[in-house]
Amino acid sequence: MQHFVNEYEYTPDILQESIGAWWDYKYKDGYRSMLAVFILIAVLSIVMKRPVFLVAELVPLFVVVLFRFKKKKSIQIEQERIDILFRGTDLFCRVEVGEDISFTSLKGNRRIQFSDVENYLETRNLIVLFIKGSMTISLDKKGFREGTKEDFMSLLANTVK
């Protein structure tokens, strides 16, 4: 198996992008369901000629707003945790991928089996790995010190199903 090393500073922007990606991944089916309900209510109100049903459109809209609020709140909470735990200290992360995944930061070192990666998502600046147990590991696209982003994406495409 190839070996990759990725290093980056865990900034508020990376935190927001990483946690936002997790929320979007975790609740994508919920967003799709609310869109389907929204369309169904609109169609039913037109077919049945009952514009009063359009008031029910507020329910899926409320659920989507709730998802967005929870996403924003979880980003704020994680930022508060980082600020409290690492007050005034830059938080650097190192991710090594080989037979397994090693994640090292000021919090310590964690090892995760590569087989525990359930899925992944490429965002504007990151590659976010979704790990069993609702965990994520982020890699900065510009942070590869060993191996390349393209080779890593190829590895993910061939091994993560």
Distances (CA, A) of 50 to 10, 18, 36, 43, 117: 52, 43, 19, 10, 48
pLDDT of residue 137: 94
Residue 116 is predicted with a pLDDT of 94
Find the farthest-apart pair of alpha carbons in the chain and give their distance in angstroms, rounded: 63
Beta partners for residue 139, in sequence order: 127
CA distance 84 to 11: 14
Please report, in tens digits, the pLDDT of each residue of the chain (161 residues total).
689 999 999 999 999 999 999 999 888 888 889 889 888 888 888 888 777 777 788 888 889 899 999 999 999 999 998 888 888 788 899 999 998 999 998 778 999 998 999 999 999 999 999 999 988 999 999 999 999 999 999 999 999 87
| d(C-alpha 70, C-alpha 65), whole Å | 9
Give pLDDT, residue 71.
93
Which amino acid type is present at position 7? Answer: E
Residue with token string 């590991």: 137
73 is written with which tokens?
């709140």
pTM score, whole prediction: 0.81
pLDDT at position 48 is 82
Cα 69 to Cα 133: distance, rounded to the nearest angstrom: 22
Say what the pLDDT of residue 45 is.
83
As a whole number of angstroms, the distance between CA 21 and CA 124 comes to 10
Q: What is the pLDDT of residue 136?
A: 92
What is the pLDDT at residue 127?
97
Spell out the SS3 assignment of the chain. CCCEEEEEECCHHHHHHHHHHHHHHHCHHHHHHHHHHHHHHHHHHHHCCCHHHHHHHHHHHHHHHHHHHHHHHHHHHHHHHHHHHCCCCCCEEEEEECCEEEEEECCEEEEEEHHHEEEEEECCCEEEEEECCCEEEEEECCCEEECCHHHHHHHHHHHCC
